[in-house]
Chain A
């Protein structure tokens, strides 16, 4: 067994028993990155020197016998949407190609407090807009299970880098499924926490009322460790909620017997890939055997989630992305007049999908259309949220497929934005309602491509999702399967 195949908990034990050093582990990861980067294109920036420096520093501290976080010395990587002071942060966009942030996001500050080792910044869809990681100024990253296929998006490389064992954990963001869909497509565990659980401060905004940060890992427990490190109230983010963070690890072993699990009938529709349906059905059977009560529920407004999501998200995005104008930072196009500079900077600096969404969002908010589109969508959002509120009156958790299909081929949906948007069907309602969602491997299709199970919970009930996810993981072997090298 390779060192990189161990879980964070196992590595943490090895580190604290001084069987290995963080430097050694970091070098293993860096070697792995160099071996696979060309095929996978997962990293935009590799911070090799800084990583080794941190690793050595943590090793020294450990030798002094100081008490360290379970994550100390563990090599991780961040989606290139997290601001890291002094380390280039591009959001996979030409417009931020040269941007070296002058401050740190709260998540990275917390990771530094935990003495994790940052290996570098990961590829993604530009400004997190996309479901395939193809909308990147730095080229698409690829799925380790099949290099012809997408790792999913927008946090595609965050999932792929964990699947390919380049790093021991990673962080991404999820606005409409951008953690869960790639986790599903790359066969790793990922969680989108409740809105307000993790600080958004210093994370480049796509759609402010939907964006949330979450980790990827090889196992439910790894993800629980990673989330614990970054979750919690932050006075710099007005939407962060002052609710204490439970000890996720100690919650894992709670019995799932008697948990009421809802299965929304609207998620088992035409167009759901047969093998995906089969795998999810199999998972539900396992959960039933574990002693949980399975019941069918209804989330009647599911069919309206895609229009609602794309109207709200693009409206917010059109405003959030107005600041990229060449005046204060980032790319500035050469021009004689100010207006020209604005238009050229933005025209040249943003990619096709980003401009498409800015146009859409501008339309949605513009005079004469606001009520029919933005306001209407915000009202339907209320109904979608209410569907979940009602459902959670009768069940503890909801289990669904994550994406209608396994990883699709690169280029397959690039010319049809609507088809691309429709692939987010099972993940976006969660963001509209601000709820948490956990994804973990539950099978493989006939092409040996991973399938992910999605567990949804009530607001701030991450520990309950971990509880079920862990029990399921213990009962199955799917998470142990690694991609064919």
Chain B
């Protein structure tokens, strides 16, 4: 029986977060009325001409540098000719044989090992509009037409759905760290086509690949790859041949379906765009962009591990999103306890909020740091801290204020604790006898009773000590 491995390459389209479109001044705002954000240029009116958006180029260079690509000194825009109603000029301005950048790589961590996925190229292009299909007619909305895109094309370096997904997550994290794209797969600002083929393990040659389009979530990327692996495996095992084609992911039926093989008829007739001059990106322009590059997720993760002594797993979670990483560092600055802060964020905060969404949390990083500090200093118990935390979530008040107004400070007073302990022992004579007779398990019961009497304010460590003394 032959064992097959999949060979996967990804083409990722990321919409750049510029204010205006790539070749005209129309707004890129997402939820405008149909065809509201249009002008002669992005609707392909006769006589209209494109002028390139500088910020779009800056953003593309940012991504190229972050992925260790070589930025071409001269890049050239080209026309890709094909007819479609959402493409107003019936050609797309893209880049062809002289793209913005080539030869990069992205590091991914999958199943505990680090792997480099090589990039073939990153090029710039304009997005198409949207077709909405009715029952007897279709409708065209050109708001999206002309929004800047970068296309990031990887080498077929991935060997499993997990790796592909890890790569995609890494790219998404990067565009978000760089603040060049919001990385929203559902809304389509971050899109991915998968090229996948199978080959027997240890074989060098690639098999025939299929391209899967229309995948709009991370989960579907994995599912589509898994489905496609089984489909192609079945064909190969049956002695058949996989055909090169474009397939669509059908998320309702969890399968890929063949689009009529449009590849054959397609001849894009690329040629240099005469309306746009070549782009020359010299070292000073690159330097200028380089200076704006933030610390990216991977570097940050490594730093968190060494500076704060976090595990790789924890550091990875904290650095998935730039906002969360920043939140963590600000909180640590106050709490001075990196590990406890990490635990509180990962177990409590992320239960309530998505890591991308931390900005909407009412608890500021400063307040979380203060809360951790209160625990660390023994002022409050972990249990009370949770209560305070849930109050902070709704009110946004500082923890100290809640502690004071609700009288939640931990009781350290030896005398007071002793009174509670004595009372409990007095009231439960029966159990004291049983305990002394050997039922050691009852110790927890006494602790619980004391804590109850103190309304949770007694310092559990002291309670433990005193109980042990008195029951000895």
Contact = CB atoms under 8 A, between A and B. Distances in A.
Interface of A: 83, 89, 91, 96, 99, 101-103, 105, 200-205, 207-209, 235-239, 315-316, 318-319, 322-325, 327-329, 338, 342, 362, 365-367, 370, 374
B276 interface: yes
B364 to A, nearest CB: 45
B299 to A, nearest CB: 38
A238 B47 contact: no
B50 A238 contact: yes
Interface stretch (B79-87, B315-323, B333-341): B79-87
Nearest to A341: B85
A102 B35 CA distance: 15
Nearest to A339: B83
Contact of A327 (B48, B52, B85, B270): B85
A322 B84 CA distance: 10
A328 B50 contact: no
Contacts of B48: 201-202
A357 B140 CA distance: 29
Given A366-B269, A370-B271, A325 B90 contact: yes
**Top 10 A-B pairs, shortest CB-CB distance:** A322-B90, A365-B269, A208-B274, A209-B274, A202-B47, A204-B46, A323-B44, A367-B267, A323-B89, A83-B47
Nearest to B52: A238
Contact of A238 (B40, B138, B271, B277): B277
B88 A328 contact: yes
Interface in B44-88: 44-52, 79, 81, 83, 85, 88
Interface of B is mostly: loop
Nearest to A374: B271
Contacts of B267: 366-367
Contact of B49 (A236, A323, A366): A236
A365 to B, nearest CB: 4
B50 to A, nearest CB: 7
A365 B269 CA distance: 5
A362 B267 CA distance: 10
A322 B46 contact: no
Given A201-B49, A322-B91, A329-B45, A238 B81 contact: no
A89 B270 CA distance: 30
A329 B50 CA distance: 19
B275 interface: yes
B43 interface: yes
A316 B51 CA distance: 18
27 contacts: A83-B46, A89-B46, A91-B46, A96-B46, A99-B46, A105-B47, A200-B49, A202-B47, A203-B47, A204-B47, A205-B46, A236-B49, A238-B51, A238-B277, A239-B49, A319-B79, A319-B91, A319-B271, A322-B90, A323-B44, A328-B44, A328-B88, A338-B85, A338-B138, A362-B269, A365-B269, A374-B271
B89 A322 contact: yes
Contacts of A322: 81, 83, 89-91
A235 B48 CA distance: 12
A203 B267 CA distance: 28
A204 B49 CA distance: 10
Contacts of A239: 49, 274-275, 277
A204 B45 CA distance: 9
Contact of B46 (A323, A338, A342, A365): A323
B417 to A, nearest CB: 79
B49 A327 contact: no
Interface of B: 40, 43-52, 79, 81, 83, 85, 88-91, 138, 140, 267, 269-271, 274-277
Given A201-B47, A204-B46, A238-B49, A316 B274 contact: yes
A318 B83 CA distance: 12
Contacts of A370: 269, 271
Given A315-B271, A338-B138, A236 B51 contact: yes
B159 to A, nearest CB: 32
Contacts of B88: 323, 327-328
B81 A319 contact: yes
Contacts of A207: 274
Contacts of B274: 207-209, 239, 316
Given A237-B51, A327-B85, 15 more contacts: A83-B46, A91-B46, A102-B40, A204-B46, A208-B274, A239-B49, A239-B277, A316-B271, A316-B274, A323-B88, A328-B45, A365-B270, A366-B267, A367-B269, A370-B269
Contacts of B89: 322-323
Nearest to B38: A328
Nearest to B275: A208
A45 to B, nearest CB: 16
Contacts of B138: 338
B52 A365 contact: no
Nearest to B277: A238
B40, B44, B52, B269: which has the most chain A beta carbons within 10 Å? B269
Contacts of A315: 271
Contacts of A89: 46
B26 to A, nearest CB: 13
A93 B276 CA distance: 27
B45 A101 contact: yes
A201 B46 CA distance: 9
Contacts of A374: 271
B52 A342 contact: no
A199 B421 CA distance: 92
A196 to B, nearest CB: 10
Contacts of A202: 40, 47-48
A319 B51 contact: no
Nearest to A235: B51
A102, A209, A236: which has the most chain B beta carbons within 10 Å? A236
B196 to A, nearest CB: 25
Contacts of A325: 83, 90
Contacts of B81: 318-319, 322, 365
A205 B83 contact: no
Contacts of B276: 238
A135 B85 CA distance: 29
A370 B44 CA distance: 25
Nearest to B24: A236
Nearest to A315: B271
A91 B45 CA distance: 13
Nearest to B138: A338
Contacts of B50: 238
B49, B50, B140, B267: which has the most chain A beta carbons within 10 Å? B49
A310 B469 CA distance: 104
A239 B45 CA distance: 18
A342 B83 CA distance: 9
A315 B78 CA distance: 13
Nearest to A103: B40
Given A315-B271, A323-B88, A328 B43 contact: yes
Contacts of B44: 323, 328
B145 to A, nearest CB: 11
A101 B50 CA distance: 18
Nearest to B82: A322
Nearest to A362: B269
Contacts of A318: 81, 269
